[in-house]
């Protein structure tokens, strides 16, 4: 499993890293809620292990923001706050499971396996004709695009460009790749048509949204992913 651990206690981080790495899992660590949220939005994980009492942005708020961004990755809250009220609040914020400290590593691994199996079920049922990134959806059959509940009107070329970008989420695409896959392979490669149409999409999709989806990787090309940064 590819796991994200958002935790600020070095002893807990070390314990979980040693145990889960020995079991063959890949562990990424964030020691505060802000950096953890950025990792959640920019990378793909099988399960997120989230402590409530992390600095900058607390775990409850990280969970709320992740779910607001339509993230479906299973979240396991791991914390010393074990009252019924805390547990209910965590689950209401969007957590899938809740463990209190101290905990047994064997139980943690069992919970993670359960969450991974549960998290893969929607993937099996997902319609391959619908592309989703956060609150943005593109339906290949009906040719419709929505950001949240708002329908976004696109031209045929804008639709093809967005479809190609969403088919390669988190992958940096250079201008030639985009030209060859969205326009004709013999299209004039000296044109700035890609940049022009990327700008068109940004105005329709990212304008007035805190979470930006279309990003420039300077000197390399473009990528679609979720982030709070302001794209140029």
Please determine, looking at this structure, whether the domain spanning 130-227 carries the CATH number 3.30.465.10: no
Where does the chain show beta strands of DSSP type E? 2-6, 26-30, 47-50, 75-79, 97-100, 130-133, 136-139, 144-147, 150-151, 212-217, 221-227
Query: Torsions phi, psi of 70, nearest 5?
Result: 70, 25
Cα distance between residue 160 and residue 192, in whole Å: 17
Dump pLDDT digits (tens) for 2-57: 999 999 999 999 999 999 998 889 999 999 999 999 999 888 899 999 998 899 99
Contacts of 220 (CB under 8 A, 6+ apart): 172, 174
Tokens of 2: 């590819």
pLDDT tens digits along 199-211: 999 999 998 888 8
CATH number for the segment(s) 2-125: 3.40.50.2300
Domain positions in the chain are 2-125, 130-227
- C-alpha torsion angle, residues 158, 160, 164, 170 (rounded to 10): 20
């Amino acid at each position: 499993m590819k796991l994200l651990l958002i935790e600020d206690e070095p002893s807990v981080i070390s314990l979980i890293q040693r145990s889960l790495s020995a079991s063959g899992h890949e562990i990424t660590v964030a020691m505060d809620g802000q950096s953890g949220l950025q990792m959640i939005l920019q990378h793909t994980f099988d399960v997120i292990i989230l402590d409530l009492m992390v600095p900058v942005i607390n775990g409850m708020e990280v969970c709320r923001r992740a779910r607001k961004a339509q993230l479906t990755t299973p979240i396991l809250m791991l914390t010393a706050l074990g009252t019924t009220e805390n547990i209910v609040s965590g689950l209401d914020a969007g957590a899938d499971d809740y463990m209190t400290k101290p905990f047994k590593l064997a139980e943690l691994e069992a919970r993670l396996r359960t969450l991974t199996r549960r998290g893969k079920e929607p993937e099996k049922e997902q319609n391959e004709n619908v592309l989703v990134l956060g609150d943005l959806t593109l339906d290949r059959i009906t040719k419709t695009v929505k950001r949240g509940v708002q329908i976004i009107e696109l031209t045929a070329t804008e639709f093809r460009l967005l479809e190609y970008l969403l088919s390669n989420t988190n992958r940096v695409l250079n201008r030639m790749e985009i030209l060859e896959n969205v326009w004709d392979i013999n299209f004039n490669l000296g044109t700035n048509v890609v940049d022009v149409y990327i700008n068109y999409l940004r105005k329709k999709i990212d304008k007035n949204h805190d979470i930006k989806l279309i990003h420039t990787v300077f000197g390399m090309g473009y990528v679609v992913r979720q982030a709070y940064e302001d794209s140029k």
